[in-house]
């Protein structure tokens, strides 16, 4: 539903209204952060998602969605930055993705989340082709980590 651009703008309006009414709602915050992410408004998405740092809910699904957005957001951002040729910033986003994944409790590092990591390989490959030699070592480390984690 959120991926349809015509509906996305409308959904964001509703999520923003709901979030204003109840800014402490993790459910609404996560959906608003996801909507911003799909709209490629990464700063707003990150701001909302970070409001819930350390506030894992008793609901497993909500926790899983929160961790998913915190891992997915930086790799989507890295992809956009890589396409724009902003290699250094893309690498920083990939490093953020790695930190978020590594910080997640192991029970949320399931096949669903690990499968998402496998989607990052094309971005890393693009960056390896277009980056400076001084950036390649960090990318090779990220690539090695991705392979280990995505197919664990």
Question: Taking residues 129-149, what's their average pLDDT?
Answer: 94
- pLDDT tens for 5-37 read 568 888 899 999 999 999 989 889 999 999 999
Rg for the chain, CA atoms, rounded = 16
DSSP SS3 for 86: coil
Tokens 């980590």 found at = 145
* 60: pLDDT strictly greater than 90: no
Q: What pLDDT score was predicted for residue 108? A: 86
Q: What pLDDT score was predicted for residue 105? A: 87
DSSP class per residue in the chain? -TTSHHHHHHHHHHHHHHHHH-TT-HHHHHHHHHHHHHTT-HHHHHHHHHTTTT---S-HHHHHHHHHHHHHHHHHHHHHHHHTT-HHHHHHHHHHHHHHHHHS-GGG--HHHHHHHHTTHHHHHHHHHHS-HHHHHHHHHHHHHHHHHHT-
Question: Taking residues 28-50, what's their average pLDDT?
Answer: 93
Q: What is the reported pTM?
A: 0.88
Q: What pLDDT score was predicted for residue 1? A: 46
Q: In the numeric block, which tokens belong to residue 104?
A: 């997640």
């Amino acid at each position: 539903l959120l991926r349809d651009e015509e509906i996305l703008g409308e959904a964001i309006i509703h999520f923003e209204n709901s979030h204003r009414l109840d800014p402490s709602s993790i459910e609404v915050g996560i959906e608003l952060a996801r909507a911003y992410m799909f709209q490629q408004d990464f700063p707003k998405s990150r701001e909302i998602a970070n409001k819930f740092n350390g506030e894992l809910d008793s609901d497993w699904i909500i926790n899983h969605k929160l961790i998913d957005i915190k891992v997915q957001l930086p790799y989507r951002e890295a992809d956009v930055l890589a396409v724009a040729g902003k290699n250094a910033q893309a690498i920083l986003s990939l490093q953020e993705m790695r930190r978020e994944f590594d910080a997640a409790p192991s029970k949320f590092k399931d096949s669903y989340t690990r499968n998402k990591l496998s989607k990052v390989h094309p971005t890393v490959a693009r960056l390896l082709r277009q980056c400076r030699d001084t950036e390649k070592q960090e990318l090779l480390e990220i690539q090695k980590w991705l392979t280990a984690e995505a197919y664990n």
